[in-house]
Homo-oligomer: A and B are copies of this chain.
């Protein structure tokens, strides 16, 4: 099946490397993998009434409550254009409260409600469940996370 070394010009040759071939794009692999993982989460989060970015926001607040909008934004690399409406939806759902800081009226403090804190118990087994669905050995996943974290952390 390999072409003869001295085949004539009309014979099949190995294709020249195509830098724009979809299969060669790390960016597409990353994009497709991210979309797929978010889809996996959707199924787990739908019973909790949460979207994936809302879940990430709650992860931040479950670790440290009473944060400014900007602090959440820094943790997730999101700006107020994304976070403001998202936080309003989490407030409408009863998971958080948004309060203007009395000492600095520009700031908005985000605090969990009792309901928001209680939601954590329903989410605690999601990561392991997703890791299973990914169908890759744990060792591979750990190394993958390490590489991705480096990639995400480089100067934006």
Contact = CB atoms under 8 A, between A and B. Distances in A.
Main secondary structure of the interface of A (DSSP, over half): helix
A62 to B, nearest CB: 6
Copies of this polypeptide in the complex:
2
A151 B37 contact: yes
B27 A156 contact: no
Contacts of A18: 63
A77 B130 CA distance: 20
Contact of A20 (B25, B39, B62, B76): B62
B75 A22 contact: yes
Contacts of A39: 156
A83 interface: no
Interface in A55-110: 56, 59-60, 62-63, 75-77
Contacts of A24: 127
A135 interface: yes
